[in-house]
Amino acid sequence: VEPGWRWELSPMHLLRLRRHTQDDDTLSPVLRLDTFKMAVHTPVPVVELLLRRLEASDGGLDSAELAAELGMEHQAVVGAVKSLQALGEVIEAELRSTKRWELTAEGEEIAREGSHEARVFRSIPPEGLAQSELMRLPSGKVGFSKAMSNKWIRVDKSAADGPRVFRVVDSMEDEVQRRLQLVRGGQAEKLGEKERSELRKRKLLAEVTLKTYWVSKGSAFSTSISKQETELSPEMISSGSWRDRPFKPYNFLAHGVLPDSGHLHPLLKVRSQFRQIFLEMGFTEMPTDNFIESSFWNFDALFQPQQHPARDQHDTFFLRDPAEALQLPMDYVQRVKRTHSQGGYGSQGYKYNWKLDEARKNLLRTHTTSASARALYRLAQKKPFTPVKYFSIDRVFRNETLDATHLAEFHQIEGVVADHGLTLGHLMGVLREFFTKLGITQLRFKPAYNPYTEPSMEVFSYHQGLKKWVEVGNSGVFRPEMLLPMGLPENVSVIAWGLSLERPTMIKYGINNIRELVGHKVNLQMVYDSPLCRLDAEPRPPPTQEAV
């Protein structure tokens, strides 16, 4: 073993190495070989040592004291306590937190080497020492002022070659070292509060809270614990040995290891919630599997005039290739052309020269209302008319200025109800039912304008967290100029509404900037950790003001 260290037997016959220092050569060199041999070969598992000590103890034992006794890390004893606890009623273990004094690293060093002031004192020969020289000593600075204040030394400023330090007393007691050694020996209580706080102020001592276990015998206590089986193997069954083997009780509360699995993005979690709400309300999902749409279905079919500002590149992504839609139902297109240019069905139309080429222009759809137009046109071809309830949730693209809540694409949620004699009242009713399922009850309707609905309403809800009315969607009754050219019966009216998926998701997950929700900046941990939050449950802590 390295010089200065030597093997020794612990009170528990455990072999351990201790550093041999000049002041503790009290240890008898003679080692009881028999115990020496046993300790070396098969170290006794801590569990067994603990059970033996418990057997010997009256009432119980403290895990930290046992560790100190066994000269091992407290953690090792805690490990033993935990594995015994897992065995059931072998032991009782009550977690306690005990405050105790511990030496800091510097405290340890002084306990070993003596206090700085003592070292300064010892380094001054009878003929004194130049102060400059003394200050160069490792403990010089700290030790000098303490030794001075202890009146152990004095300085002769008038000495020939500069200030010189002399001893005042012949010997001194290194109280600091003695006190620190007391603490190191586990006798901190021997020090008075004042002494303790002085050492603490000198950062030589610190009060630590130790979580320890008070261990006592359990109802099934025994010193010999046979290893409990954790598996029922075919041999045990075939040999029947399972009958007399102790089995580790099943811990049905044990948490399984979370399998590494895919994670649904919060947007998809909220999408499935919206889907659920629509399905519960008897709605059918419209096909939206075409990001590329013709201007005809995205605008013209919705009676949105060709010179409408939304139809220019500033708002819409047009396609260079394939630039034009070839397949359009021409008989229906003619009716749309006439309605835009001359009117009809009681409407005066827009009185402009409607161009087929404009209608053929392909674009990235700006709303899923284009899918609603396709679905309503298909519905109109089916005679007799049957009432329907449709919904869609899919991506739409708008060439808008990007900001914290707007990207060039978002998911639009749309609901459409077609039936005889539907009114604005029906729309308000279905909106109330829909938003109630979202946990949004306080609604206000504000007149609005859309080219394809009249009347139209923006929908607002009072947001508790934000203490203000938030726009939660848009809605309206589709214009006859949109429905009748499709071939839908006169007295059929269609109510519809729309909102985004991103807004409710950001509010539910307390996300302020949309770039935290989608895009390359998303921290995947947020996706992994994002709980499945129920839309109608209390929203997560509201995002700060500017998020809306």
Residues making contact with ligand FB9 (CB under 6 A): 369, 412, 414, 440, 450, 453, 470-476, 496-500, 503-504, 507-508
Kindly tell me which of 63 and 405 has the beta carbon lying closer to ligand FB9. Answer: 405
State the nearest-atom distance from the C-beta of 386 to ligand FB9, in Å. Answer: 21
Q: How far is the CB of 279 from ligand FB9 (least distance, A)?
A: 19
**Least distance between ligand FB9 and beta carbon 78 (Å):** 47
Closer residue to ligand FB9, CB minimum distance, 93 or 472: 472
- Position 54, amino acid: L
Least CB distance to ligand FB9 at residue 300 (A): 16
Cα separation of 26 and 437, whole Å? 81
Tokens in use for 74? 């407290």
Residue entry with tokens 């004699």: 421
d(CA 373, CA 370): 5
DSSP state letter for 165: E
CA nearest neighbour of 478 among 457, 495, 498? 495
Q: Are strands 153-156 and 205-217 parallel, antiparallel or unpaired?
A: unpaired
> Are 155 and 167 a contacting pair, CB within 8 Å?
no
Pick the closer one to ligand FB9 by CB: 153 or 301: 301
Calpha distance 131→144 (Å, rounded): 9
Q: How far is the CB of 253 from ligand FB9 (least distance, A)?
A: 35
Least Cβ distance, residue 193 to ligand FB9 (angstroms): 58
3-state SS assignment for residue 67: helix
Pick the closer one to ligand FB9 by CB: 44 or 533. 533
Q: What is the DSSP code string of 388-409?
A: EEEEEEEEEE-----BTTB-SE
Q: How far is the CB of 499 from ligand FB9 (least distance, A)?
A: 4
CB nearer to ligand FB9: pick between 91 and 417: 417
**Using CA atoms, how far apart are residues 202 and 109, in angstroms rounded to an integer?**
13
Residue closer to ligand FB9 (CB basis): 266 or 504: 504
- The string of DSSP codes covering 333-363 is HHHHHHHHHT-BTTB----S---HHHHHBEE
Closer Cβ to ligand FB9, 115 or 475, answer by number? 475
Neighbour-count burial of 291, counting CB atoms closer than 10 A to its CB (0-12 exposed, 13-18 middle, 19+ buried): middle
Taking the least distance from each CB to ligand FB9, the nearer of 91 and 393 is: 393
Which residue lies nearest ligand FB9, judged by its C-beta? 498
Q: How far is the CB of 354 from ligand FB9 (least distance, A)?
A: 22
